[in-house]
């Protein structure tokens, strides 16, 4: 089998287009994206690309937010972002390829050694294809140069750090992993998410970057949405279920829950409980701590 057979499939499909092209892939490298646009006849004016931009993937070198510059130069393509995207789909008029291959050098065989990939041709009006495209076009958001710059800034911070990054190709990277907050300064997190590290101590920066890598947040969130997404992630932790269900939890109960879920020592559990408490009370304004033994986290307004 020719090592670049995946690219030959894609290029042949795109060259046959007469009216529309849709490119769907979580990971896209700029040189391959440029080659794909070049393969599409200039008479085709409707080109839509759906992808996802993750700082972890960009830092790992499997994705380039700079594809937005390639699209601008080409002048025909619009880029949409879908953060939970995993599908790979390439549409040309009424034909399409579905399978495993991203628009990267190794996936398409344009770089060696090539991945072992599969693309199968199906009709573009297949019900599953139609349903997927409808959902993507409804739920995706437009990419912008500002978003591209923010993702690149975060990725550069990760690249410069000594963090062991989560594999960007893992299923649901970030969402399903066991994660506990690391940084004791959650108030700095949003600025670092925006790529602003001015005045940030190195230890705080490393902890915040680790947390952002595990949280795997969509790019471009405003601060209100950013806080809400992190609050939801905190409430999804089984260790705080008592707080969610009853509106209160003591530090001792939180530490016991951490130990029951695999935290290795009482000292580590106490440190993690304190950090979780800081995050909870920062990202949910209705929470505060009161003395009750060591302390208790409760929901309600603080009395003057």
What is the tens place of the pLDDT at every residue in 129-187?
999 999 999 999 999 999 999 899 888 888 887 665 666 665 444 444 478 999 999 99
Task: Give 261's strand partners.
Answer: none
Task: Report the relative pairing of strands 77-81 and 46-51 from DSSP bridges.
Answer: parallel
Q: Which CATH architecture has domain 5-146?
A: 2-Layer Sandwich (3.30)
pLDDT digits over 184-193, tens only? 999 999 999 9
Residues 6+ apart with CB under 8 A from 201: none
Residue 17 pLDDT > 80: yes
Q: How far apart are the first and last CA of the chain?
A: 75
pLDDT above 90 (res 294): no
Bridge partner residues of 119 (DSSP): 99
Q: What is the pLDDT of residue 161?
A: 78
Tell me, what's the pLDDT at 153? 87
Please, where in the chain does CATH 3.30.870.10 lie? 5-146
Burial class (CB in 10 A: 0-12, 13-18, 19+), 1: exposed
Amino acid 172: pLDDT: 45
Beta bridge partners of 89: 24, 98
Q: Tell me: the pLDDT tens digits for 44-89?
A: 999 999 999 999 999 999 999 999 999 999 999 999 999 999 999 9
CB distance 24 to 120 below 8 Å: no
Nearest CA to 250 out of 226, 180, 167, 258 is that of 258
Decide if pLDDT at 244 tops 60.
Answer: yes
Average pLDDT, stretch 248-264?
92
Q: Which two structure tokens, joined as six digits, stand for 127?
A: 């019900």
Tell me which of 204 and 35 has the higher pLDDT. Answer: 35
The model's pLDDT over 57-69, given as tens digits with 9 standing for 90+, comes to: 999 999 999 999 9
pLDDT band of residue 291 (cuts 50, 70, 90) is: confident
The per-residue pLDDT for 2 is 59
State the Cα–Cα distance between residues 14 and 65, nearest whole angstrom.
Answer: 22
């Amino acid at each position: 089998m020719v090592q670049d057979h995946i690219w030959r499939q894609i290029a042949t499909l795109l060259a046959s287009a007469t009216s529309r092209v849709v490119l769907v892939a979580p990971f896209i490298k700029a040189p391959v994206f440029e080659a794909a646009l070049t393969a599409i006849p200039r008479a085709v004016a409707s080109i839509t690309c759906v992808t996802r931009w993750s700082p972890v993937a960009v830092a790992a070198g499997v994705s380039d937010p700079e594809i937005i510059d390639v699209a601008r130069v080409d002048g025909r393509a619009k880029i949409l972002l879908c953060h939970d995207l995993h599908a790979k789909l390439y549409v040309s008029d009424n034909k399409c390829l579905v399978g495993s291959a991203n628009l990267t050098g190794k996936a398409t065989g344009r770089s060696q050694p090539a991945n072992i990939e599969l693309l199968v041709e199906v009709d573009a009006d297949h019900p599953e294809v139609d349903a997927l495209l409808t959902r993507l076009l409804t739920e995706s958001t437009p990419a912008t140069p500002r978003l591209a710059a923010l993702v690149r800034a975060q990725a550069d911070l990760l690249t410069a750090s000594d963090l062991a990054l989560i594999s960007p190709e893992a299923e649901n990277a970030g969402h399903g992993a066991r994660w506990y907050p690391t940084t004791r300064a959650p108030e700095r997190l949003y600025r670092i998410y925006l790529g602003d590290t001015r005045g940030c101590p190195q230890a705080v920066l490393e902890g915040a970057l680790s947390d952002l890598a595990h949280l795997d947040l969509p790019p471009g969130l405003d601060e209100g949405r950013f806080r809400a997404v992190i609050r939801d992630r905190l409430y999804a932790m089984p260790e705080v279920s008592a707080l969610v269900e009853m509106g209160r939890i003591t530090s001792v109960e939180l530490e016991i829950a951490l130990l029951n879920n695999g935290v290795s020592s009482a000292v580590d559990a106490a440190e993690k409980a304190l950090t979780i408490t800081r995050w909870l009370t920062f990202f949910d304004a209705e929470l505060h701590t009161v003395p009750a033994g060591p302390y208790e986290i409760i929901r309600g307004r603080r009395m003057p």
